[in-house]
Amino acid sequence: MNLRPQWWVMLALAGPLLAFGYDASQAAGDLSAGGALSERVPWAEILGPLAPVALSPFFGMACLSGVSMLVTRGVLPENAFLDAHPVLTHPAFFAVFLSLAVFTSLPRLTKVSKPLALVCDTLETYAGLVAVVAVQLVRKLLEAPDGDATVVAAGFAGIPTELLLAGLSVANFIVIQTVRLFFELLVWISPIPLLDAIFEAANKLVCAGLVALYAFSPWAALALNALLFLLCLALFRKAKDGIRAMMTRLKTAARWLRNRLRPTARRAD
């Protein structure tokens, strides 16, 4: 990913500015606070499942709920984030998201019903984003019974842990979802009939595989999530422009088809 010259200038200026704003006398305190924070906050357990949920929000949340129930019963290895989670272990939560996953996946299997799935895609994206942030906040509230928000020290600024996790989740979610939508639109306009079903099956398979990897090795899932995020970040701008261009052409084609059908309807009257 090539950066423009102005971005290199900004990066070159950011280092001295951050170093100037950081008080060296606070180094020991910040290091000790960071160590205590890493022990209290299971970063790998919280951020590890972001990639599968971003690829398929409803199906990813259903898989995460199923894994949480298995972890709570001792079937899968211990996971501090999923164990006895009050939301993920609820059977109604699992049933609702599994039903939504089936309802939104079936229209994606054919090109004729694909537009209905694309209309529901925005709703699925926002619902999945709200669900994953809410699940994180519930776990964090249970970890802090005193009600005090853990703060990440950054020299001249303090960032609440909940806000930091939510920001990372939103950025990861939006970037991966945008790239996935771009490829889904490419598959839809392709002339191959079965390509839509193959793409949807592959998406669900990768999502389930990432959740399974997270269940046994959260750190490996986090590393793979970071790699996927960087790859999608490199394609983010092209994917965003491609989506805008394809949507413009689809609107133009729909307008042309509507104008062509109007005289026919009038003659029929």
Q: Express each pLDDT in 51-76 by its tens digit.
A: 999 899 999 999 999 999 999 998 98
pLDDT in tens, 79-115: 888 888 888 999 999 999 999 999 888 888 888 887 7
Q: What is the pLDDT of residue 65?
A: 93
Q: What is the DSSP letter of 26?
A: G
For residue 216, what are the CA distances in angstroms to 45, 70, 213?
11, 12, 5
Predicted confidence (pLDDT) at residue 20 exceeds the cutoff of 70: no
Q: In this structure, what token pair is assigned to residue 128?
A: 């999945």
Task: Give kind and range of the element (H or E) at residue 152.
Answer: strand 151-153
Mean predicted confidence (pLDDT) in 211-236:
92
Q: Has this prediction a pTM greater than 0.75?
A: no
* DSSP code of residue 113: T
CA dist 241 and 234 (Å) reads: 13
User: Mean pLDDT in the chain?
Assistant: 76
Check residue 67 and give its pLDDT. 94
Mean pLDDT of all residues in 220-245: 90
d(CA 11, CA 69) in angstroms, rounded, equals 45
- Give start and end residues of each alpha helix (H) in the chain: 5-21, 27-40, 43-47, 50-55, 57-72, 91-105, 114-143, 161-189, 195-216, 218-268
